[in-house]
């Protein structure tokens, strides 16, 4: 018998009313691009895909859609429990005619559990909710258990990118990543994490500068 407690995603699942056009796409397009139930075979989702990438907590889908448009031969998976964000992302997929995006509208841990070993080439965790109060740190997305699962699904040489504009969350993530077997941080100088990577897509959310420091980008490689 399964003894694991049920997964819980913290934060709002829905805030404001979803716009009519987005609501219509949630009914028509989302079922077509939603990740299927059960074990997931990325090859089956997009035969001929060069690689599979995952964005965890894609917000409004701006970055996910831009990366998918840049690399149409890559299968882009996205996970987001916030319904307004999913609605926004589906609109981006529709407007840009993206055929290489699949969405999991729920907790990413449910999705990762169903992915095979060494199936991902890249993972993005960009500006997740910082939960700055110490008593809420257990709600942070980045935990040792998640990092261990990401190591499992990343292929050798696969990359994990974390970005935040909250200094404490950067320190929190770096501490846990460095003690996760299989993850390597190759930064050699400050510019390696203080400057946006060449392939980064800046979003409107990032431009709001809601944190307490300039954005920091941590790129890890699976050994």
Is the pLDDT confidence value at 155 over 70? Answer: yes
- Whether the pLDDT of residue 1 is over 90: the answer is no
pLDDT, averaged across the chain: 92
Q: Could you tell me if residue 134 is inside a domain?
A: yes
**CATH number of the domain encompassing residue 173:** 3.40.50.150
| 2 found inside a domain | no
Q: Does 1 fall in a domain?
A: no
pLDDT classification of 10: cutoffs 50, 70, 90: very low
Bridge partners (DSSP) of residue 56 are: 79, 125
What percent of the chain is helix, strand and coil (3-state, nearest 5)? 35, 20, 45
Determine phi and psi for 178, rounding to 5 degrees: -65, -25
Alpha helices of 8-153 — where are they, by DSSP H? 20-28, 30-33, 42-45, 62-70, 83-96, 108-113, 144-153
Q: Does a structural domain hold residue 184?
A: yes
149 within some domain: yes
For 188-213, what is the mean pLDDT?
92
- Give the model confidence (pLDDT) of 26-67 as tens digits: 999 999 999 999 999 999 999 999 999 999 999 999 999 999
- Containing structural domain, residue 123: 20-222
β 120-126/154-164 pair status: parallel
**Residue 52 located in a structural domain:** yes
Contact 143, 172 (CB under 8 A): no
Residue numbers annotated as active site: 129
Q: Could you tell me if residue 212 is inside a domain?
A: yes
Assess if residue 10 is contained within a domain.
no
Does position 3 have pLDDT exceeding 50, yes or no? no
Q: Tell me: pLDDT of 9 over 70.
A: no
Query: What integer pLDDT is reported at residue 13 of this predicted model?
Result: 53
Domain count, the chain: 1
């Amino acid at each position: 018998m399964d003894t694991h407690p049920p997964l819980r995603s913290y934060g709002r699942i829905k805030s404001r009313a979803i716009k009519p056009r987005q609501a219509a796409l949630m009914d028509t397009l989302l079922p077509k691009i939603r990740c299927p139930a059960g074990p997931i075979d990325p090859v089956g989702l997009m035969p001929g895909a060069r690689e599979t990438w995952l964005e965890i907590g894609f917000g409004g889908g701006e970055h996910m859609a831009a990366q998918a448009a840049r690399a149409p031969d890559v299968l882009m998976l996205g996970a987001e429990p916030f319904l307004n964000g999913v609605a926004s992302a589906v609109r981006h997929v529709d407007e840009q005619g993206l055929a290489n995006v699949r969405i999991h509208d729920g907790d990413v841990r449910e999705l990762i559990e169903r992915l095979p070993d060494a199936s991902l080439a890249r993972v993005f965790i960009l500006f997740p909710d910082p939960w700055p109060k110490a008593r809420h740190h257990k709600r942070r997305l980045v935990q040792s258990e998640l990092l261990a699962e990401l190591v499992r699904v990343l292929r050798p040489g696969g990359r994990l990118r974390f970005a935040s504009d909250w200094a404490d969350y950067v320190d929190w993530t770096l501490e846990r990543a460095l003690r996760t077997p299989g993850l390597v941080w190759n930064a050699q100088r400050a510019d390696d994490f203080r400057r946006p990577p060449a392939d980064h897509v800046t979003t409107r959310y990032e431009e709001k500068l809601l944190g307490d420091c300039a954005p920091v980008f941590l790129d890890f490689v699976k050994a």
